[in-house]
Amino acid sequence: MDPVASPEDFALAADLVRDAGQLALRMRMEGLTASEKTSVSDVVTAADREAEALVVKRLRELRPEDGIVGEEGASRNGTSGRSWVIDPVDGTYNFFAGSTYWCSALALRADPGPHDVHGDPEVLLGAVYQPQEEQLWLGGRGYPATRNGEPVTWPEDEPLNRISAGTYIHPTWLLRPEVAGPWTAAASRAATIRMMGSGSCDLVRVAAGQFGAWFQHSCPEWDWLPGKAIVLAAGGSTAVAEVNGFRWHIAGTAAAVREIHGALTSA
């Protein structure tokens, strides 16, 4: 029997991202320091760790049979065939710098077994919460995409040269032609690009039609699955392109996804 997400799972996901985001925001207001992970723009704070610990504790109590995968190191194998994927603060650099463009994000996925055509685990639900903008996004299989409880309306299917594309590439990757070449080929075809620094915030804006598309290479599942679930629930398309040994994740209108995939793979 395939794993499913219940209405109670969606309600729990909404509570968890809201509580994690509000905890992180309170901690930032009280004062935080940050430490580098891989670079000056890839940082972690105590709020990341505390917010993840809050979510993990609640899941251990309320979903003891489910697995857990957390960006800040939380890990537990489950017996239910499902795992919760946690990004306690997505866009930590923005968060620490005082920007509002960050969120707490969560996905529920099927454990390795059911996969989609791109080799991703099947995502059952996604939840994204932006505390300072008071926006809560939900969506998943059998559950329409919503923002603050209101249905999200999917935009018309526009080609890439008519829309903005959200993306991200660290400056150091621009020195590597095997990545910079495909990225430039795709980015140059969009009407305009947006590089805001939070994959989940970007993806929910794709779901709402504020961005027409989004693409990024080498996304960990906590940066991809929450937003992917919401884009699909809104009626959008997603794809993964393998180029020069890198996996590029793509979301948007069907036409834009096809164009981005073609640009990446032909570069």
The annotation status of 157 as a binding-site residue, yes or no, is no
252 φ/ψ sector (left φ>0, alpha ψ -120 to 50, else beta): left
The annotation status of 87 as a binding-site residue, yes or no, is yes
Report which of 184, 256, 259 is spatially closest to residue 217, judged by C-alpha positions.
Answer: 184
Query: Which residues partner with 194 through β-bridges?
Result: 166
C-alpha span between 66 and 14 (Å, rounded):
17
The annotation status of 48 as a binding-site residue, yes or no, is no
The annotation status of 223 as a binding-site residue, yes or no, is yes
Q: At what angle do helices 254-266 and 177-187 cross, to 10 degrees?
A: 140
Query: Which residues partner with 87 through β-bridges?
Result: 105
In 46-113 the beta strands, taken as DSSP E runs, fall at 67-70, 75-76, 82-90, 103-110
Q: Annotated binding residues for Mg(2+), as ranges?
A: 71, 87, 90, 223
Q: Which residues are annotated as a binding site?
A: 71, 87, 90, 223
